[in-house]
């Protein structure tokens, strides 16, 4: 009897400790910029609609959102350029591969504000200003027409839908340039026939956003299905030809995501797509969910990985090696969705399959026959 009481007390202590961990984690996440806080309120806390909407509305007036809006030029651009700042020297040190991508120009600034949930009305007139004043560095093409890079075009599709620009012709560009293996590669213009994890994910995110704003399209949904299958048959992590990990970058997490692929970035897409399309999570996400769970620290947080180099207006998240509120939010929300436990509960340690069972780490996809195409990036 005494042994039973001790076990009951120990179990209660564990539960109390877990509840305190949950409370502290949510308090930590709520003590953040409005750009993140409104999403925590809506998706993890389950706050009243009026509360998170009020927080979301404050993005333009305070914190990171207000700072980034203050950098917009009178001609509608940021840093005087479409994808690169106007003073970028394509022959100078900043163009070196190790220097990274500058993230101050128009496209990156719009991406950030859109991802944060800024009301497009705040940027009223920007779409027209960009149509008049902004041209791509590639062939001086008009901004809302896009160019030849599928990632850049995906960002443009999303930002155009968000700001109310007519990007319907650009939307058709993606089915027209989908590769035979189902994905996309920004190096198609150089002759690449193999899809890229990075490019495919960026395109999928752009197509999904466009559909959520403008309405479902059979053509675009079909293109998304093929692109999703490209990633899913590789379990989001592996080469199809050999079953080996596609690269160490797939399991490294850093915020902002920028153009880089990671298991967390990909799962965030599949979460949003499943909620939009209906249905349940694909079981082939299990390996990626295990990777996300494995990165969880004992205190329930996720650590900022290697920061992507490149010029920025200001830092958006924790330094490398420090707990990241943004990564923690995305990871907790993904695990809650996978475990069907929204609002968030303290038991984020058990990664369950969609049928409720605990999977062992799923095996990599079986290698294809020699000579089959594989993703190289």
Q: Give the torsion sign (CA, 245, 230, 184, 335).
A: negative
In sequence order, what are the residues at sequence separation of 6 or more whose Cβ sits closer than 8 angstroms to the Cβ of residue 331?
253, 264, 292, 295, 296, 302
The topology (CATH level 3) of 18-338 is Glycosyltransferase (1.50.10)
- For residue 222, what pLDDT is reported? 98
- For residue 361, what pLDDT is reported? 37
- For residue 97, what pLDDT is reported? 85
Residues of the chain with pLDDT under 50: 1-20, 341-350, 352-377
- For residue 358, what pLDDT is reported? 39
Kindly state the DSSP code that residue 262 receives in the 8-state scheme.
-
- For residue 21, what pLDDT is reported? 66
- For residue 119, what pLDDT is reported? 98
d(CA 316, CA 312): 9
- For residue 191, what pLDDT is reported? 86
- For residue 81, what pLDDT is reported? 98
- For residue 127, what pLDDT is reported? 98
Report residue 302 as tokens. Answer: 């996720």
């Amino acid at each position: 009897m005494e042994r039973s009481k001790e076990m009951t007390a120990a179990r209660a202590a564990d539960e109390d400790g877990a509840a305190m961990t949950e409370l502290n984690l949510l308090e930590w996440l709520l003590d953040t910029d409005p750009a993140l806080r409104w999403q925590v309120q809506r998706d993890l806390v389950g706050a009243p609609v009026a509360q998170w909407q009020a927080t979301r509305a404050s993005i333009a007036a305070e914190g990171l959102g207000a700072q980034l809006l203050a950098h917009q030029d009178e001609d509608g651009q940021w840093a005087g350029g479409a994808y690169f700042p106007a003073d970028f020297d394509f022959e100078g040190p900043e163009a070196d591969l190790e220097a990274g991508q500058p993230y101050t120009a128009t496209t990156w600034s719009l991406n950030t504000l859109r991802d944060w949930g800024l009301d497009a009305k705040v940027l009223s007139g920007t779409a027209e200003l960009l149509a008049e004043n902004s041209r791509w560095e590639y062939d001086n093409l008009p901004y809302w027409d896009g160019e030849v890079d599928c990632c850049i075009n995906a960002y443009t599709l999303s930002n155009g839908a968000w700001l109310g620009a007519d990007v319907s012709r650009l939307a058709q560009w993606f089915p027209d340039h989908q590769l035979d293996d189902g994905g996309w590669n920004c190096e198609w213009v150089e002759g690449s026939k193999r899809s890229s994890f990075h490019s495919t994910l960026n395109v999928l995110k752009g197509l999904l956003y466009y559909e959520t704003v403008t309405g479902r399209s059979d053509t675009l949904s079909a293109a998304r299905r093929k692109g999703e299958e490209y990633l899913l048959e590789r379990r989001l992590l592996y080469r199809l030809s050999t079953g080996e990990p596609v690269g160490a970058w797939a399991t490294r997490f850093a915020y902002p995501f920028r153009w880089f692929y990671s298991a967390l970035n990909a799962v965030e897409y599949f979460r949003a797509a499943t909620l939009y399309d209906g249905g349940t999570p694909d079981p082939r996400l299990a390996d990626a969910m295990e990777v996300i769970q494995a990165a969880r620290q004992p205190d329930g947080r996720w650590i900022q990985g290697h920061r992507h180099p490149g010029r920025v207006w200001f830092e958006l998240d924790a330094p490398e090696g420090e707990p990241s509120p943004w990564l923690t939010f995305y990871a907790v929300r993904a695990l809650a969705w996978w475990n069907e436990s929204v609002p968030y509960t303290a038991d984020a340690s058990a990664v369950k399959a969609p049928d409720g069972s605990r999977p062992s780490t799923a095996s990599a996809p079986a290698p294809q026959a020699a000579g089959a195409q594989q993703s190289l990036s």
